A = this chain, B = another copy of it.
Amino acid sequence: MLDAVSAQEDLFVYACGDASQLAPLLGGRERIEIVDAPEVITNSEDPSEAFKAKKNSSLVRGMQLCRENRDISGFVSCGPTGAIFVSAVMLLGRIGRISPMLTVELTKPDGSSFCVVDCGANVDVRAEKLVDFARMGSAYMKAAGVAEPKIYLLSNGAEDKKGSASVKRANELLRAEMPGFMGNTEGHSVLSGDADVIVCDGFSGNILLKTIEGAAKAVISELRASGLDGEALDAVYRKYDYNTQGGAVLLGTGLPIVKGHGAATAETVRSIILTSYRLAKNGLNAKIAESFSMHNA
């Protein structure tokens, strides 16, 4: 957190948590204000129950602060996804009628990046929602500097007629109304193709992301076992180790929320704060609202 605040001189952080633990680390630092919120929501709790019961958790207290203070332009957390989701919808509201969803941005071998929408927030999804995800993903990549994002629909074949019932219908809808829609793509083309946005339901997206991570690690462990070694292997391993990366972003609520892994390191926290800073600077939520032709973001 200190590194992130040092890196951006117009960045101000409210650090929500147990003040008795935070004060020795962050007390008296410039552009950091400690907000005492000693309760903790764990992964094993029911998200809605936890939201109601633990108003003084860092998660709920922090979102409440965002609700009260409209100058706050981003929220980051390494807490449980379900509780973040519930708290964000309850306290920050949605953009229009969109179902909030998670995106993760990944780097391809050629150095360019793409986002996957949805990565796990919505598992049983109708075609219309997939179109919403496409819009949000496109807005996200525009905020990342891609002028005309290329959008692909993840399926079990590249042809338009391939896919589950909802994917086939989504293909039709996207063909009819989504600028930048290029068609279906398959698992083996995600890292090698020209996609800026991969559209899928949260179940498939979660499998896609975790499989990329698992396969990359498996290949590197095999190469190490066969005697290869060196910095190149370590670098590629880190690249596909999503715990060390910028985190998933919850889109579709009143503020974009950047979520780091529960087992996050100091580097993760630095990274998610700087991602949140960048998204706010680039006006992500205004771009999402615009892509839905709304003006109430």
- Whether the Cβ atoms of A228 and B225 lie closer than 8 Å is no
- Whether the Cβ atoms of B226 and A210 lie closer than 8 Å is no
Expressed in whole angstroms, the minimum distance between the Cβ of A164 and any Cβ of chain B is: 5
Known A187-B211, A215-B211: A233·B240 in contact at CB below 8 Å: no
| A: number of interface residues (CB 8 Å) | 52
Known A156-B123, A163-B123, A204-B204: A222·B109 in contact at CB below 8 Å: yes
- Whether the Cβ atoms of A192 and B218 lie closer than 8 Å is yes
- Whether the Cβ atoms of A156 and B202 lie closer than 8 Å is yes
- Whether the Cβ atoms of B232 and A218 lie closer than 8 Å is no
Nearest B residue to A119 by beta-carbon distance? B156
- Whether the Cβ atoms of B203 and A191 lie closer than 8 Å is no
- Whether the Cβ atoms of A228 and B232 lie closer than 8 Å is yes
Known A219-B220, A227-B232: A187·B204 in contact at CB below 8 Å: no
Expressed in whole angstroms, the minimum distance between the Cβ of A189 and any Cβ of chain B is: 7
**What residues of chain B lie closer than 8 Å to A213, measured between beta carbons?**
187-188
Task: Report Cα–Cα, A202/B221, bound state, in Å.
Answer: 28
Known A164-B123, A192-B218, A215-B215: A208·B223 in contact at CB below 8 Å: no
Known A207-B204, A207-B207: A187·B164 in contact at CB below 8 Å: no
Known A156-B203, A186-B206, A186-B210: A164·B124 in contact at CB below 8 Å: yes
- Whether the Cβ atoms of B109 and A225 lie closer than 8 Å is yes
Q: Which 9 A-B pairs have the closest CB atoms?
A: A187-B210, A187-B211, A188-B214, A156-B206, A215-B215, A191-B218, A188-B210, A226-B232, A211-B211
Chain A positions within 8 Å of B, measured between CB atoms, are 108-109, 120, 123-124, 154-157, 163-165, 167, 186-192, 202-204, 206-223, 225-228, 230, 232-233, 235-236, 239-240
